[in-house]
Amino acid sequence: MEKKFSNKPGIRICFVMVFSFVLSFALNIPVHADEEPEKIYYGLKNASTILNNINFTDVRNSATWSKEAICEAAALDIVKGYGNRVFGRTNNVTKEEAIAIIYRAAGREKDAQLAAEALETARNAEDRSSYAPSMWSDGYLQLAAGEGLISSQDLQDAFTADQSSLGTGAFLRRAPAQRQEVAYWISKVFGIEPVYGQQKIFNSFRDWSSADPLKIPYIEAVLVENIMNGEGNGYFRPTGFVTREQIAQIIKNADKRVLPLLGYEKKMGTVEDIRKEYDFTGNTHVYTNTFHIRSSNGKLHKIVTEFYDSSRSGYRNEQGGSSIKPSDTDLIVYRDGWIGTSSLLKVGDRVEYITAADGTVRYVRVISATSDTEYIVAKIKEVNYDTSTIKAAIGFYLEYPDIDMDSISFDFRNSDGTVDATLVYSNIVKVFIEGRIAGIRDIEPGTDAILTVKDNIITTITTLDLRLKEQGVISGIVEENNPHLGYISLYSDNGLRVDDSLNKIKIYNYSNPEEVTVYKNHVPAKLEDVESGDSVYIKLDQNGAIEMISAVDNYVVKYGKIISVRPGLINVAYDDGTQQILSVDENVPIVQDNKLMDFDALKDGDRVKLLLNITDKATTLKKLTVEGDEHFIANIYRGIVASVDDISKKLLLQHLEVFNNGEWERTEQKGFTSLKMSEDNKFVYNDDIVDMRRAKELIAGSTAYIAVEKDYGGIEKAVFVSVKNSKDSEAPVLNDSIMSATFGNKGEFTLKKEYLNISYGNGTIIVKDNRLVTGNSINSEDRAYVVASRSYDDGKYYAFIVKIDDKTDSNFFTIYRGRIANINENKDFTLESYSELKGVEWNYYNTPRTFRITYDTQILGDDGVVGQRDFTDYGDSSYKSRTVYVLSHGADAVLISTAPYGNINVKGKIYELISENADGSEAQEGQQEPVGFKLQNSKVYDLQSHMWVDGKDMDINLLKNSIILKDNKIIKPSELKKGDSVRLIKKDDEQAGDAYIIFVE
């Protein structure tokens, strides 16, 4: 049935919405007696007790922003008060409280109590707890230890009776919980997958480096889902504490996770009628209120509450004789800033109600009243910040602020074309873009949004994606689209019918291509944008001609590794073991780290995600995404295999050495070393690939060469273990150029200087551009370190390691130096004049130069990372007239640093890294970054003679805004290694000093 939306005062509009039900706007018209409700729900028998317990005086009498979250979390029995109607909203949540709250939010209270009972039963009588909450807390901590939220040592600390006896770093159960801990525990308990891209935390917060590296992916996960947020000033405060009101809000923010875990559902509707009934037939008089709720899906829901008159029940308290009555069933209702009973509900209220699987309503929130609040779908055309107004094309009116837009037909057109309106927005308007909190200045023209208008003022703006829905359309997969000849052909997919014919190509015609409305991926497009392989829905007019097309890319995602790169082609080995050669034309976007890159930047061994358009005739590459450095080879080791543990998936090794710059160096680990194996680790014995069970039998006591990657926590894992035949002798390490090489997974290459033929095969670890590659990637003129053994049987050389040197492009970044003239916030900045680094010298240009600020631009100040919003040319922290280094790709600023000016070039080899660790040892993952290093065999570039002059050993300090470049990338100090050859820029040639720019060569 069609439903007409009447014109609002001052706006001459008529809209059509298609619904499967009739909903009267006249709320005083009673519901038809014969309408069967879709659901009948009931109030809670203990509602009065809950209301009494959660009527927190310290919350009710405050003006806190957190009232709504506290009331909901308390009503759902997730966050409890202290008793005596005290919540303690500004108190810090302790570690044991936070763990308990998170587990209760996940519906795990029973598990914790069972764990607590088991612990208590196992204890001696004198050790048992006499305080039930303390015993239950033990159960939550036991669950946390069993599921990896805390360590076994943490649990032992927590169970220590005298907490004051524990030393620094111990797990104190009553100590305040850190924000990073809460994020980590929420992600683990709620089953939220960690996010390893870390775009939000790294781009938004200046204090990311103070977070525990192991927890960063979990912090990122809760940030992405808007469960936790920063302070709004560029800080997340990972080591800061969480108050009780904050954790209540965090739980509310996570309701899409929490409610399903508890078996609850959140629904929305409008109170259409409240009916009262009385039953005086029994000893107890029963008063029943039935709330008729028109749900947002158009169905009728009823919520029933019951109240009893105790004067006739005959029930009395056995101790004092006072009358008692059966428990009333009532609702907990939040309205206008506080909670109460169902008596707060009125006809016309828009409500949100949380229901349980047992048919009860656990909580009701009054959203607004139909009499004073409207929800308007509109396309925002212009935002005027001076007058606080929004000009918008009004679409239609909604009953609820977040109704499923996919269920609605809509039309922006009007008979007289007047669909524009100008509305005032509140100075405290709330803005949500794609579900995330934003500001009014973040809204862009052309955005579709739901406007919440109360008393003619916009109070909330929520962006949305208006999607076309199937309305009697035919659907299929595009075989061919030819707008010029006026037709499109479709075929069915997986049994999808096209014009009632299976697996048959059908042709449809355009009567006038210029008049066809086209959407591609739900945005307006041209007919030419509809491609072969797209899934389409086509709406036909009454004559059978095409009136509207909605097309969606019919993509398949595959993952794999690039075996080889040739002009315009890549050979890919997919994770399922198959291989395919794909054409990569200039229209295929190639993306790495959210930035477009050139085809020439692809490397053999790159891990890639491919978007493929697959039809019966061809496979077309639509997008190629290069994965990050998590699959780079971090190190190559040599050692004696003591054992292989196929249960814990670890190698036990002794006499371990690391391959560094063509030399074998002893590791600092003495005795035996345990090394984890990755899930896809490969064992090769005598050039044959063997499984772990077979390797366990064969390789104990043998010399092995091991290539390792680092996981996201910085832990090394073996990905390739190649075992040497004990009869063969290892040759000295060869450092030479490749003169020629055969093509294939097995073959031979010839060294130019040694003129030596060396075979490679399954057991050869070949590393190029830090990636594990095959023999296909060995090219003539490559320079490589080669570790080979000479066969005892035939005297030939067989390579175990081929490490091909990286080819560094010294011009990958252009480095400038200059004084800032002005800054156009978040857009660009200009240098008054500038110098450009050419080799070891600065060339000066007396002319301004402007650089763009992109989303990826990093800014390093004297104290570390600076947020882009703080990079301004006004105020006390102005950067105007500051002298900065700028690393750029063309006109795009990649990095801006306020490091001091330097023009002295020094080079040498790092022989010691200096950290802030107590023992002066090298900083490991999760510890402090190195703060400097010692340089040996140093040379200083003489600006007069233009020659490198021998110098002394140097002590080099690293600043928080020092720039370090390696392999065409900006790296962290922790990525520097002993043995690295470096060139650096400092202010003088003294033996001690600060490094401003460091090139790892």
- Please say if the pLDDT value at position 238 is more than 70: yes
For residues 542 and 569, state if they share a domain.
no
In sequence order, the 6+-apart residues with CB closer than 8 A to the CB of 319 are none
Domain boundary among 535, 552, 569: 552
The strand ranges marked E within 882-988 are: 883-889, 892-897, 904-914, 932-942, 947-950, 954-966, 969-970, 981-986
pLDDT of residue 522: 63
The strand ranges marked E within 791-840 are: 797-804, 814-824, 828-838
The DSSP H or E segment spanning 140 is helix 132-146
Angle between helices 109-122 and 132-146 (to 10 degrees): 100
pLDDT of residue 963: 93
For residues 100 and 233, state if they share a domain.
yes
Residue 509 CA to residue 572 CA, distance in Å, equals: 39
Question: pLDDT (tens digit, 9 = 90+) per residue, 764-808?
Answer: 999 987 888 888 788 887 889 999 998 888 888 999 999 987 654
Average pLDDT over residues 280-301: 82
The residues with which 771 forms a beta bridge, in sequence order, are: 768
254 is a domain residue: yes
In our burial notation (b when 16+ CB lie closer than 10 A, e otherwise), range 477-489 reads bbbebebeeeebb
Tokens 């916009």 belong to 458
Average pLDDT over residues 689-709: 90
Residue 218 CA to residue 187 CA, distance in Å, equals: 6
Give the residue among 707, 687, 685 at the shortest CA–CA distance from 697: 685
Residue 954 identity (one-letter amino acid): M
CB 646 within 8 A of CB 696: yes
The DSSP H or E segment spanning 729 is strand 729-730
For residues 251 and 391, state if they share a domain.
no
Q: Please work out, in degrees rounded to the nearest 5, the angle formed at the alpha carbon of residue 36 by the alpha carbons of 33 and 39.
A: 130
- Neighbouring CB atoms inside 10 A of 55's CB total 17
Integer CA distances (angstroms), 821 to 98, 880, 889, in order: 50, 6, 20
Residue 49 CA to residue 225 CA, distance in Å, equals: 34
Q: How confident is the model at residue 707 (pLDDT cuts 50, 70, 90)?
A: very high
For residues 122 and 94, state if they share a domain.
yes
Residue 664 CA to residue 635 CA, distance in Å, equals: 11
The residues with which 701 forms a beta bridge, in sequence order, are: none
The strand ranges marked E within 192-309 are: 264-279, 285-295, 300-309
Domain boundary among 441, 463, 485: 463
For residues 531 and 569, state if they share a domain.
no
Structure tokens at 377: 């779908």
Tokens 């009869």 belong to 727
Residue 654 CA to residue 393 CA, distance in Å, equals: 73
750 is a domain residue: no
Domain boundary among 407, 432, 463: 463
675 is a domain residue: no
For residues 397 and 326, state if they share a domain.
no
For residues 404 and 287, state if they share a domain.
no
Question: pLDDT (tens digit, 9 = 90+) per residue, 555-573?
Answer: 677 778 898 888 889 999 8
- Please say if the pLDDT value at position 321 is more than 70: no
For residues 533 and 612, state if they share a domain.
no
CB 869 within 8 A of CB 230: no
Residue 880 CA to residue 832 CA, distance in Å, equals: 10
pLDDT of residue 405: 38
Question: pLDDT (tens digit, 9 = 90+) per residue, 76-104?
Answer: 999 999 888 899 999 999 999 999 999 99
Q: Please spell the DSSP secondary structure of 519-557, one letter per residue.
A: EETTEE--GGG--TT-EEEEEE-TTS-EEEEEEE--EEE
Going by the DSSP 8-state scheme, the letter that residue 289 receives in this structure is E
pLDDT, greater one: 794 or 325: 794
Q: Which domain holds residue 854?
A: 814-897
Range in 15-19, 402-406, 416-420, 834-838 with the lowest mean pLDDT = 15-19
pLDDT of residue 323: 64
Give the residue among 828, 811, 810, 829 at the shortest CA–CA distance from 819: 829
Residue 286 CA to residue 306 CA, distance in Å, equals: 7
770 is a domain residue: no
For residues 359 and 302, state if they share a domain.
yes
pLDDT of residue 122: 79
For residues 281 and 425, state if they share a domain.
no
192 is a domain residue: yes
- Please say if the pLDDT value at position 176 is more than 70: yes
Question: pLDDT (tens digit, 9 = 90+) per residue, 151-166?
Answer: 999 999 988 888 888 8
- Average pLDDT of the chain, as a whole number: 82
- Please say if the pLDDT value at position 881 is more than 60: yes
Give the residue among 775, 776, 746 at the shortest CA–CA distance from 761: 746
For residues 202 and 68, state if they share a domain.
yes
Q: Would you report the helix, strand and coil content of the chain in percent, each value rounded to 5?
A: 15, 45, 40
3-state secondary structure 301-352: EEEEEEEEEHHHCCCECCCCCCECCCCCEECCEEECCEEECHHHCCCCEEEE
Q: How confident is the model at residue 515 (pLDDT cuts 50, 70, 90)?
A: confident
Q: How confident is the model at residue 213 (pLDDT cuts 50, 70, 90)?
A: confident
pLDDT of residue 472: 40
Give the residue among 834, 836, 854 at the shortest CA–CA distance from 846: 834
Q: How confident is the model at residue 371 (pLDDT cuts 50, 70, 90)?
A: low
pLDDT of residue 445: 80
Residue 539 CA to residue 518 CA, distance in Å, equals: 10
Give the residue among 893, 887, 810, 899 at the shortest CA–CA distance from 854: 893
3-state secondary structure 356-368: ECCCEEEEEEEEE
Q: Look at the chain and report how many structural domains it folds into.
A: 7
Q: What is the CA radius of gyration of the chain?
A: 35
Structure tokens at 299: 């169905």
Phi-psi region of 767 (alpha: psi -120 to 50; beta: other; left: phi over 0): beta
pLDDT of residue 412: 32
Q: Please spell the DSSP secondary structure of 210-233, one letter per residue.
A: GS-TTTHHHHHHHHHTTSS---SS
pLDDT, greater one: 823 or 839: 823
Structure tokens at 808: 């560094």
Structure tokens at 721: 């273990």
CA 984 to chain centre: 36
Helix (H, G, I), strand (E, B) or coil at 392: strand
Give the residue among 432, 441, 426, 427 at the shortest CA–CA distance from 461: 432
Please state whether the predicted TM-score (pTM) of the whole model is above 0.75. no
Total residue count of the chain as it appears in this document: 1001
Integer CA distances (angstroms), 87 to 53, 69, 94, 109, 230, in order: 10, 12, 14, 20, 24
702 is a domain residue: no
pLDDT of residue 392: 82
Structure tokens at 112: 């914790």
pLDDT, greater one: 434 or 753: 753
Question: pLDDT (tens digit, 9 = 90+) per residue, 906-939?
Answer: 999 999 999 865 444 444 444 568 899 999 989 9
Average pLDDT over residues 189-198: 83
200 is a domain residue: yes
Residue 935 CA to residue 984 CA, distance in Å, equals: 11
Classify burial at 864, counting beta carbons within 10 Å of its beta carbon; exposed 0-12, middle 13-18, buried 19 or more.
middle
Edge-to-edge order in the sheet of strand 487-491? 506-509, 487-491, 474-482, 535-540, 546-552, 517-520, 523-524
- Please say if the pLDDT value at position 230 is more than 50: yes
Check the CA dihedral 741-743-746-747 and report its sign.
Answer: negative
Q: What is the CATH number of the domain that holds 540?
A: 2.40.50.320
Average pLDDT over residues 949-962: 91
For residues 256 and 119, state if they share a domain.
yes
